[in-house]
Amino acid sequence: MAQFNRFTGIFPLFRAIKGIKVNHSSNYKSAIALENLYPNSKLTLTTPSKIPETNEKFNGYIPVKELQITYSRSSGPGGQNVNTVSTKVDLRFHLESATWLNEDIRAKLLEIQKNKLNKEGYLVIKSDLTRQQHMNLADCLSKLRKMIWAACAADAPAPAPSAEFLEMARRRKEKAARERLLEKRSRSMTKQDRQAPSLD
Amino acid sequence: MAVNRNVVDRALAVLRTLPRVSLYNLKDHEHRKKRSARGQHGGGTHGHGKKFRQNYLPLGFESGNTPFHLRFGMEKYYKRYRLEREYPPVSLLMLQKMIDTNRLDTTQPIDLSSICNSGVYSMNINFNHHGVNLTDEEGFDQFCAKINIEVQWASEGAIAAIERNGGVITTSYYDPLCLHAVTDPARFFLKGDPIPKRMIPPEDAIEYYSSADNRGYLADPEKVSLARLALAQKYGYELPKIEDDPDYTMLTMRKDPRQIFYGLEPGWVVSLKDKAILKPKDKELLEYYRT
């Protein structure tokens, strides 16, 4: 960009000078403007506040404000970086008083994840998987989500075995029985052959 | 010769079932497989004559079997290299530094022109560079500016960092002709050419720029709003309410997909000497620049 010296006089015009009002708005609308590509969509940027309610117990939303997140240094090799950068993430919340979770899920989590609960009743999730703090936080949240989904699935009845599975299971049983009998008969013949032949 | 009638019948019965004799089921006689010295005048000396002179075998020769360097096919490493677009990176740390040192104005939307004019970023269109790739390798935790930025490629972490601070990020495509105008607007305006209209991305890029997850400029805005929330949930930050922001107008300012400069339409001629903008009046031209 700075190769053409005869243009150096022009560059200062375009340096970032705060405060100078530039008219950025324009009424220009081409044939491929977003209005024409998506005529039924709202074009303004919004922040959805309410997550669409579903019949399921958990729709994936976790209020991060209710969680206590702390950062510390990770373990393992890494020299100056691992010694100074706080990449380990500790995520905890009091499970029994977590009103944002469905009651059934809360009870199920208390049961399944009792090894992750501490004396005060806090569910503790830690991660130092990556070298970056934000990725470790994402990992913690994903672990939490997986726990909650697993708790939802634990309540659900096991799906009935399919017809193919039942047929395969039946065939397997019959084959096993056949092989067992073959083995048994073969052994029996061997034993009989050890006896003296009868003259009848 | 007395041949057993039974044998003959059986042979004929077998013959009836066998396939027809053809080139595909004929085999050479075994003695033909013997390797003979190939080459001119009977071979054996690999082109070095028969009078006991120096007989170096060809380099890599493995006494007849296909040499190692000829066994494997060519690997065309550079076959489509001209089509591979490159996006020289700008890390979040670099972007924060540019903002802190007043090289970028956060009160206005930031686009490729602003980044190139900052003097700290360089790209070469001749090397197939198509713009800025915003990476989150460095500076995710240090980034704290609220900006409206338009880049050409962005990693998920970079998008999260910008939106976490209440900003807006969009990824857009500039075709090479437009890149000449965008990367050096001063030089382009001196030419006196009309501002070109942006072409749609090539086939392998259109999916990227139509996806809300990448904040593409051709994506559905409703889906983008939902994707913002999904990303906030993934990375564990509270999404700031952008509608309540006093800079909402500036943050949601966007170029039309055919536009390359804010506030300037394709087809206009910017005359720096006369300090004027010349707009086309011809119907055909207007139609061309608006489609």
- Per DSSP, the residues of chain A read -TT-GGGTTTGGGGS--TT-----------TTSHHHH-TTS--S-----SPPP-SSS--S---GGGSEEEEEPPPSS-HHHHHH---EEEEEEESTT-TTS-HHHHHHHHHHTGGGB-TTSEEEEEE--SSSHHHHHHHHHHHHHHHHHHHHHHHSPPPPPPHHHHHHHHHHHHHHHHHHHHHHHHHHHHHHHTSPPP--
User: Is a pLDDT exceeding 90 seen at residue B266?
Assistant: yes
- Write down the pLDDT at residue A16: 45
HEC per residue, B41-110:
HHCCCCCCCCCCCCCCCCCCCECCECCHHHHCCCCCCCCCHHHCCECCEEEHHHHHHHHHCCCCCCCCCE
Residue B240 — pLDDT band, cuts 50, 70, 90?
very high
B205-237 residue pLDDT tens: 999 999 999 999 999 999 999 999 999 999 999
Size of interface A-B (CB pairs under 8 A): 159
Supply the pLDDT for residue B281: 96
Judge if pTM exceeds 0.90. Answer: no
At A26 the pLDDT is 77
> How many C-beta atoms surround the C-beta of residue A74 within 10 A?
22
pLDDT band at B64; cut points 50, 70, 90? confident
- At which residue do the structure tokens 């990303």 appear? B231
Q: What is the mean pLDDT of residues B246-267?
A: 95
pLDDT in tens, chain A (200 residues): 333 334 333 344 444 444 455 667 778 999 999 999 999 999 999 888 767 667 678 888 999 999 999 999 999 999 999 999 889 999 999 999 999 999 999 999 999 999 999 999 999 999 999 999 999 999 999 999 999 999 998 878 888 999 999 999 999 999 999 999 999 999 999 999 999 887 77
Q: What is the pLDDT of residue A3?
A: 36
Q: Bin B39: left if φ > 0, else alpha if -120 < ψ < 50, else beta.
A: left
Whether residue B94 is predicted with pLDDT greater than 90 in this model: the reply is yes
Asked if B257 and A4 come within 8 Å (Cβ–Cβ), the reply is: no
Per-residue DSSP letter, B31: G
Say whether B161 sits in a helix, a strand or coil: helix
Task: Report which secondary-structure segment, H or E, holds B278.
Answer: strand B276-278
ipTM of the modeled complex: 0.73
Q: Which pLDDT belongs to residue A12?
A: 40
C-beta atoms of B263 and A45 within 8 A: no
Q: Is B37 left (phi over 0), alpha (psi -120 to 50) or beta?
A: beta
Q: Using a CB-CB distance cutoff of 8 angstroms, which residues of chain B are in contact with residue A64?
A: 233, 236-238
- Please name which of B179, B198, B193 lies closest in space to residue B278, comparing C-alpha atoms: B193
Do residue A133 and residue B184 have CB atoms under 8 angstroms apart? no
Q: Measure the CA–CA gap between A101 and A63, rounded to whole angstroms.
A: 10
Q: Which of A109-113, B30-34, B169-173 has the lowest mean pLDDT?
A: B30-34
Task: Assign B118 to helix, strand or coil.
Answer: coil
Check CB contact of B45 with chain A, cutoff 8 Å: no
* Option in A42, A46, A138 nearest B235 (CB): A138
pLDDT cut 90: percent of chain B above it: 74
Residue B36 corresponds to which amino acid?
S
Helix axes B156-164, A133-155, angle to 10 degrees: 100
pLDDT of residue B103: 96
- Decide if A64 and B258 are in contact by the 8 Å CB cutoff: no
Beta-carbon contacts of residue A18 (< 8 Å; ≥ 6 apart): B102, B105, B107
- For residues B163 and B232, the answer to whether their CB atoms sit within 8 Å is yes
pLDDT value for B83: 85
- Contact yes or no for A30 and B168 at CB 8 A: no
User: What is the per-residue pLDDT for B35?
Assistant: 65
| Interatomic CA distance for residues B180 and B10, integer angstroms | 85
Q: Residue B192 corresponds to which tokens in the numbers above?
A: 């006196």
Residue A23 has a pLDDT of 66
pLDDT bucket at B32, cuts 50 / 70 / 90: low
Question: Measured between CB atoms, which of B113, B243, B290 is closest to A30?
Answer: B290
Instruction: List the 197-226 stretch of B: residues with Cβ below 8 A of A.
Output: 197, 200, 218, 220-226
Residue of B nearest to A27 (CA): B263
Rounded average pLDDT over B271-285: 95
When pLDDT is averaged across residues B163-183 and rounded to a whole number, the result is 97
